[in-house]
Chain A
Amino acid sequence: DAGVIQSPRHEVTEMGQEVTLRCKPISGHNSLFWYRQTMMRGLELLIYFNNNVPIDDSGMPEDRFSAKMPNASFSTLKIQPSEPRDSAVYFCASGLAGGNEQFFGPGTRLTVL
């Protein structure tokens, strides 16, 4: 099993640009979680999906952030427009709805200049 796959691994962009982060969950998993990690705030849950349906997006910081899961094997997190304070590592994790274990992808390190 390839595990959770995220792309890109690193992204450097300028303030105001649109950023799209991608995630492929582990095959067979039907829960998907987007987290943001910074030194100051630790690991924050942004949004999670069960069976492709967004269940809780209360962690999404602002309207500039949006997430989609068009099918069971793909999700995107979009930031438009990006700001320097969005700089962080964004992790995607997957698991089984009804279970608890979550398995993390390698993360995307985002730098907004």
Chain B
Amino acid sequence: GENVEQHPSTLSVQEGDSAVIKCTYSDSASNYFPWYKQELGKRPQLIIDIRSNVGEKKDQRIAVTLNKTAKHFSLHITETQPEDSAVYFCAASLGGNNRLAFGKGNQVVVIP
């Protein structure tokens, strides 16, 4: 089955700096890669996603890049703000169905 791993498990950045979280997956048939943000005590919220026919996607301060050959994709957050502090989960679709395999999450701490 699909194995999704995230690195690093915890990331601390100074406010205003950039944060990058990397995710690797194992199933070459995966074609959809979302990122979710979960604040303490809240639900995971979809913040950005990318499909396998695209290499990069941006939405304001966040972007996702995909390298299908190497089977990894990354979340980039620029000009970080305290409200970006949360746990970020990556996921990858499983083969041809609409299941998602989730990583264990990255704790991002933005230091004011």
Q: Which residues of A contact B (CB under 8 A)?
A: 31, 33, 42-43, 45, 48, 50, 55-56, 91, 95-107
Return the chain A residue nearest B44 by Cβ: A104
Q: Separation in Å of the B72 CB from the closest CB of chain A?
A: 19
Bound-state Cα–Cα, A106 to B45, Å = 10
28 contacts across the A-B interface (CB closer than 8 A): A31-B98, A42-B89, A42-B102, A42-B103, A43-B44, A43-B105, A45-B100, A48-B99, A50-B98, A56-B97, A95-B98, A96-B98, A98-B98, A99-B98, A100-B32, A100-B49, A100-B98, A100-B100, A101-B34, A101-B46, A102-B34, A102-B46, A102-B100, A103-B46, A104-B36, A104-B45, A105-B43, A106-B42
Please count how many residues in chain B sit with their CB below 8 Å of the partner chain's CB atoms: 19
* CB contact under 8 A between A42 and B43, given known A95-B98, A99-B98, A100-B93: no
Contacts of B93 in A (CB 8 A): 100
Residues of B contacting A31 in the complex (Cβ-Cβ under 8 angstroms):
98
Pair A101/B102 contact, Cβ less than 8 Å: no
- Beyond the given A42-B105, A101-B34, please list 9 additional residue pairs across the A-B interface where CB-CB is below 8 A: A42-B102, A43-B102, A48-B99, A91-B44, A95-B98, A98-B98, A102-B34, A104-B43, A105-B43
Q: Which of B42, B93, B98, B104 has the most CB of A within 10 A?
A: B98
Nearest B-chain residue to A109, judged by Cβ: B41
Q: Which residue of A lies closest to B101 (CB)?
A: A45
B6 to chain A, nearest CB (A): 10
Cα separation A95 to B36 with both chains bound (whole Å)? 15
Contacts of B42 in A (CB 8 A): 106
